[in-house]
């Protein structure tokens, strides 16, 4: 087995590097054949992952936070949603908000995570494919995605994408506040701060061919996993292999509605749909360009702009994780 480790020394507020010696010590003790590279940026993580996939490494290991994991995952796919190798993805988490690991039963303790990846046990997971604009283009306002536009690219996500306040929330939560008051509290404070400053806007959306205009939208979360961000959870009916996404929609929210909505998204319990918060399912989600709030966020970081089209990648990903057999 050939292992390739992609290590982000800047994750976890710069504390990630302290774990590298421990990881290497375990690998050396087990006489594991491995290579590694340190990243200098998240885009560097993508480039290294792409290189490792093309080399045909058996297991490619992302060592970092959710941002690192996402960029390494993107290196597994081409622009059409196809895997470019048979490599498996593994994760050793050294970041701040372990939503990916919680979603896919990956141990957070370094020793346990290394020992698990060495077992090689994996399962196939569905990955979200999002075609989106690279930067804001006023000429795309009100328009659906056009793959022939030179400003359009394809990216991938494993947990959740957000249209609306998600990008502002991620930027605020990632600004350093969580380093001082913790992941849960830091994200909660960032959410309240974002709500105070966010102006709801209208979006033209298309769910499985059903086009509509949604007014006064705060956020549309499109995802597959229960965990969205640092305590925010969505109980859903998706099963392994399901090609649909859940769509958690928050709109028409007044200040007096905040407490009820926040309780629901932090409880992770089922709720009855209403005009403020609702949950539905779709295979294809298209959102037209918008000048009101054009940013797109997925897997914890602002990553692009509207318009966008979200669908399931053609090939599933082989992820090394805890595998439970019925």
Nearest 5°: phi and psi at 262?
-60, -40
CATH superfamily name and code, 3-120: Probable inorganic polyphosphate/atp-NAD kinase; domain 1 (3.40.50.10330)
Q: What is the pTM of this model?
A: 0.94
For 307-320, the pLDDT digits (tens) are 999 999 999 999 99
The stretch 220-228 carries a mean pLDDT of 93
pLDDT band at 14 (very low <50, low <70, confident <90, very high): low
d(CA 61, CA 6): 6
> Which of 201, 210, 202 shows the shortest CA–CA distance to 281?
210
* Average pLDDT for the chain: 93
For 238-291, the pLDDT digits (tens) are 998 899 999 999 999 999 999 999 999 999 999 999 999 999 999 999 999 998
Give residue 48's Cα distance to chain centre.
Answer: 19
What pLDDT score does 131 carry? 97
Length of the chain: 326
Q: What's the CATH fold of domain 128-312?
A: Tumour Suppressor Smad4 (2.60.200)
For 164-216, the pLDDT digits (tens) are 999 999 999 888 788 788 888 989 999 999 999 999 999 999 999 999 999 99
pLDDT band at 20 (very low <50, low <70, confident <90, very high): very high
d(CA 77, CA 62): 15
What pLDDT score does 12 carry? 62
Q: Is the pLDDT of residue 326 over 50?
A: no
For 118-137, the pLDDT digits (tens) are 999 999 999 999 999 999 99
Domain borders along the chain are: 3-120, 128-312
* H helix or E strand, kind and range, residue 26: helix 20-29
What pLDDT score does 147 carry? 83
d(CA 296, CA 162): 6
């Amino acid at each position: 087995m050939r292992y390739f480790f992609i290590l982000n020394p800047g994750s976890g507020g710069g504390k990630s590097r302290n774990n590298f010696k421990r990881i290497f010590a375990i690998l050396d003790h087990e006489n594991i054949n491995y290579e590694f590279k340190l990243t200098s940026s998240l885009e560097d993580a993508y480039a290294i992952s792409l290189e490792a996939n093309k080399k045909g490494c058996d297991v490619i290991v992302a060592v970092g936070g959710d941002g690192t994991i996402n960029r390494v995952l993107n290196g597994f796919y081409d622009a059409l949603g196809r895997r470019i190798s048979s490599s498996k993805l593994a994760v050793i988490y050294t970041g701040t908000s372990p939503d990916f690991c919680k979603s896919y039963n990956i141990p957070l303790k370094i020793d346990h995570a290394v020992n698990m990846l060495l077992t090689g046990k994996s399962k196939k997971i569905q990955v979200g494919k999002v075609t989106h604009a690279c930067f804001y283009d006023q000429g795309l306002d009100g328009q659906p995605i056009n793959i022939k536009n030179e400003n359009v690219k394809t990216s991938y996500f494993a947990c959740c994408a957000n249209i609306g306040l998600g990008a502002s929330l991620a930027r605020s939560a990632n600004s350093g506040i969580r380093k001082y008051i913790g992941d849960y509290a830091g994200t909660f404070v960032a959410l309240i701060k974002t709500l105070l400053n966010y102006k709801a806007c209208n979006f033209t959306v298309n769910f499985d061919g059903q086009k509509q205009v949604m007014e006064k939208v705060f956020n549309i979360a499109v995802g597959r996993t229960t965990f969205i961000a640092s305590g925010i959870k969505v109980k859903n009916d998706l099963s392994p292999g399901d090609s649909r996404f859940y769509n958690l929609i928050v709109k028409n929210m007044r200040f007096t509605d905040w407490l009820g909505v926040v309780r629901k998204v932090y409880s992770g319990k089922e709720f009855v749909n209403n005009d403020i918060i609702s949950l539905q399912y779709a295979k294809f989600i298209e959102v037209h360009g918008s000048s009101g709030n054009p940013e797109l966020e997925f897997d914890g970081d602002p990553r692009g702009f509207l318009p966008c089209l979200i669908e399931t990648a053609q090939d599933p990903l082989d992820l090394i994780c805890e595998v439970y057999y019925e």
